[in-house]
Amino acid sequence: MAQERPLSGADKEKEIDLMELLSKVWAARKRVIRYALIGAAVGLVIGLSIPKTYVTAIKLAPESKAGGSVSGGMSGLAAMAGINLNSGSGMDGITYAVFPEIVKSTPFLLEFAEIPVTLTAGKSGTPGPRMTLYEYVTGHQKKAWWKYVTAFPGQALGWILSIGRNEARQQELPPVDSVDLFNLPPEYKGFVGALSGMLSVSEDKKSSMLEAKVTMQDPLVSAVIADSLISKLQKYMTAYRTQKTRNDLEQNIRQNAEAQARYYEAEDRLAETIDRNRNISSESLRVRIERLRNERNLAYSVYSQTASQVEVTRIKLQEETPIATVVEPAIVPDQAAAPKKMMFVVAFAFLGGFLAVGIVVVKSLLAADSTAQEDAAAPVE
C-alpha cells in the first residue's frame, strides 16, 4: 500500500499564504462592501440614464408550397419533434432567409419615412403630437447623457467649420419617392441607419414562422410601425413570388388587345365588302369574300386563344399569390423592454466588489514580494 507523501515546505508555505490572503480579504470586507455599494450606485445611474425602449413582436406564418398532404402531415409531426422538413423550401424564387436582408435594405427602410405616427398621450390624457416617422426618428429620440458629452467635440468642430459657409444646405428635403438612391442625402442616410437598428426579422427554424420586432422609445409608435412592417413584408412577399407571372399576364393582355383589334378589323372588312357588293354575283367576288371570311376566322381563333391565355394566367397569379397568416398581431406594449435597471445594479455591484478584492489581493502579493526581497538581501549572521 502506497504511503502518502508529506507536504513539502513549499506546499505548506502556499497553504499558509492562501489562508493569510483570505484573512486579509475578510479583514477588508468593509472596503469590499463599500466598493460594491458604489458600483451599485453607478449601475443605478447608468440604468436610469438609458432611455426606455418598447418592443412590439409580430409572428407571421407564410404559406408553404412544399409537398402534398402526406409531406405536410410528416412536416407537422416533425415540427412537433423540433425538426423542420421544409427548411429551404418556402416560396418560389425567395426564401425566408432573404427577409432579414430586405428589412435592412435602403429602399425598404425609406418607405417608412413618410408614415404618420402619433406619440403616446401624456398623463393629462391629451393626445400626443402627430408627425412622420422621419421626424420622430431624427428629432425625438432620447440619448444617454454620456452620448451628448462624447458627441459635443465633433458638433462644436462642425459649428466652427460651418461659420461663413453658404446656408443653402438648409433647404427642404426632397420627397422620398423622388430621392436619388445613388446620391442619397446625408439626412436620409442618418434616418436609414437609425431605423435599421430598430427593425428586425428572424426565422423560427422549428415552426418556419417569421418573427418581426420593432424597438422604439414610444410604445404606440412601436405598435404602429410593427403593423406597417408586416404589411410591407406581405407586399414584398407577393411582389417577389408573382413577379414573373405578373409580367406574363401583362404581355398576354397586350397580345390579346392586339389580336382583338386585328379580329375587329377583319370582321369590318368582311362586312363592308358584303354590303358594298350585295347585288353583284361573280366568281372573283365569291373568292374574295371567302378569303376575307378565312382571315376573319383566323383572327378570331388567335383572339380566342389569347383571351384564354389571359384567363389562365390570371388564375395562375391568384394561385401563386402567397397567403401570410398573422399569428401574433401588433399589440401596444405596456412595459419597457430595456433597460434592465436591476441587472445594471447587480452587475456593477459585483464589479465593484471584485475590484476591491483585487486591490486587496494585489497589495498583499506586492507586500509579500517586497518582504521576501528584503529577507533575501539581509546579511546572514
Per-residue pLDDT of the chain (381 residues; tens, 9 = 90+): 445 455 454 444 444 467 777 888 888 888 889 999 999 999 999 888 889 999 999 988 876 654 443 344 444 434 443 444 444 444 444 566 778 888 989 999 999 999 999 998 766 556 788 999 999 999 888 888 887 788 778 777 777 776 755 544 445 677 887 888 888 888 899 999 999 999 998 887 777 788 899 999 999 999 999 999 988 888 888 888 888 899 999 999 999 999 999 999 999 999 998 888 887 778 888 888 899 999 999 999 999 999 999 999 999 988 888 777 888 888 989 888 888 889 989 999 999 989 988 888 888 877 777 766 666 666 655
Helices and strands per DSSP (H, E), number in the chain: 11, 6
Rounded distance, CA 203 to CA 99, Å? 9
What pLDDT is attached to residue 137?
Answer: 93
What pLDDT is attached to residue 180?
Answer: 83
Rounded distance, CA 276 to CA 272, Å? 6
Helix 9-27 vs helix 29-49: angle between axes, to the nearest 10 degrees?
Answer: 60
What pLDDT is attached to residue 175?
Answer: 80
What pLDDT is attached to residue 172?
Answer: 67
What pLDDT is attached to residue 374?
Answer: 64
Closest alpha carbon to 188 in 132, 231, 270, 238: 132
What pLDDT is attached to residue 121?
Answer: 77
For residue 132, which amino acid is it? Answer: T
Euclidean distance between the first and final Cα of the chain, in Å?
45
DSSP, collapsed to helix, strand or coil, labels residue 271 as helix
User: What residues does each domain of the chain span?
Assistant: 23-50+339-365, 52-242+325-337, 257-315
Helix ranges (H only) for 162-207 are 186-196
Residue 241, classified by CB atoms within 10 Å of its CB into exposed (0-12), middle (13-18) or buried (19+), is buried
User: If you search the block for the grid coordinates 425598404, which residue do you land on?
Assistant: 108
Rounded distance, CA 320 to CA 237, Å? 11
What pLDDT is attached to residue 372?
Answer: 65
